[in-house]
Amino acid sequence: MQIFKTIAEMQTWCREQKRQGQTIGLVPTMGYLHAGHLALARAARSQCDTVVVSIFVNPIQFGVGEDFEDYPRDLEKDSQLLADAGVDALFAPSIREMYPPGYNSYVEVTGEITGKLCGRSRPGHFRGVTTVVSKLFNICLPDLAFFGQKDAQQVMIIEKMAKELNFPLQIVRVPIVREADGLAMSSRNVYLNPEQRKQALVLSQSLQQAQELIRAGERDAGKVKQLMCTTINSSPEANIDYAEIYDADDLADVDEIQGRVLLALAVRIGTTRLIDNLIVEVQ
C-alpha cells in the first residue's frame, strides 16, 4: 500500500490511475479504524479497481470544547489494517497541508437537512464535513465514495452536496456495523469505561423497541419518541441530546409514521456523545 502525505502527490497518483482506466473508490475516515471502517474498505474493494482511504482528523468539524485534541489516533495500526484489507493507497495529510495559513474556502449545505439533529447540537460541524469531503473529492478523484449509514445525516448531506454541486461521482451508503450486543461501532466507544459500555446499549435497545412498537401498529411519532426516551433514561449515565423521528429521505418532520422514517439518537453516556439510528419502513 502506498502512503501519501501531500495533496500534490495524492492527486498525481489518482490522475495516473484514471489515465490507466482504473475506477477509484474513496473511503474518507478520521482513523482509529474499527470493523465499520473496514466494511467501507471492503465495499470499495469489491466495487472499484483502486481503493484510496483517507485518514484525517478534520479540525474544522469539531466545535469549541469538543474532543478534537483527545480524538483517538493510531496511524501505524491503521496503516497495517488497511494494507491487510487490500487498500491501494492511504492519504494521511497534515492539518497544514489541508488548511495552510490564510485558508478561507468553505462548502456549506444549508436548509432543513443541516439545521436538525447533529446540525443543531453541533453548529458548524457539517460545514466542516462538507468542506473536507469536497477537498477529498477534488484530491482523490473518486468514481465512488463510501460512507457509513451510522452517520445517517452526514451521508444525506453529502449526497445532496454531491448532487447539487455536480461532483461526477456516486455516493455509496454502507450499513451500520454493530458489536455482537448491538452497540454501533464507533471510534469514540474507547472513551467508555466498562460500566458505561454496558449502559451504552440503551441506544440500540431503544431503537429496536421503537421499531417493534411501529411494527405492532403504532403510528404516532410522539408516542414512539416517548418510548425511546424512557428506555434511554433507564440508564443513570445517559443524557439525551436528541431522540427524533424524521422522514428518511429529506429529514422532513413526521407526526404520523408513514413510508420510510429515520429514528435518530444522540446520547451522552457520561461525557461521551454517541449517535445511532435505524430506518423503519411502513406501508
How many residues belong to the chain?
283
Could you say whether residue 132 binds ligand PAF (CB under 6 A)? yes
C-alpha span between 250 and 68 (Å, rounded): 29
Q: Does 266 bind ligand PAF (CB under 6 A)?
A: no
- The nearer residue to ligand PAF, 62 or 246, going by C-beta atoms, is 62
Exactly one of 13, 14, 32, 37 is catalytic; name it: 37
**CB 47, min distance to ligand PAF, A:** 18
**Which string of DSSP letters, residue by residue, matches 23-78?**
-EEEEEE-SS--HHHHHHHHHHHHH-SEEEEEE---GGGSPTTSSTTTS---HHHH
> Using CB under 6 A as the criterion, what x/- string covers residues 56-85 for binding ligand PAF?
--x--x------------------------
Task: State the binding string over 142-181 for ligand PAF (x if CB under 6 A, else -).
Answer: ---------x--x---------------------------
Catalytic site includes residue 37: yes
CA atoms within 13 A on the CB side of 238: 25
In whole angstroms, give the CA distance from residue 73 to residue 80. Answer: 14
Beta pairing, strands 272-282 & 259-269: antiparallel
The contacts of residue 9 (CB under 8 Å, 6+ apart) are none
Q: Is 189 in the site for ligand PAF (CB under 6 A)?
A: no
Considering the complex, what minimum distance in angstroms separates the CB of residue 269 from ligand PAF?
Answer: 20
19-58 residues near ligand PAF, rule: CB under 6 A: 28-30, 58
Element (H, E) at 281: strand 272-282
Active site (catalytic) residues: 37
Contact residues: ligand PAF, CB under 6 A: 28-30, 58, 61, 129, 132-133, 151, 154
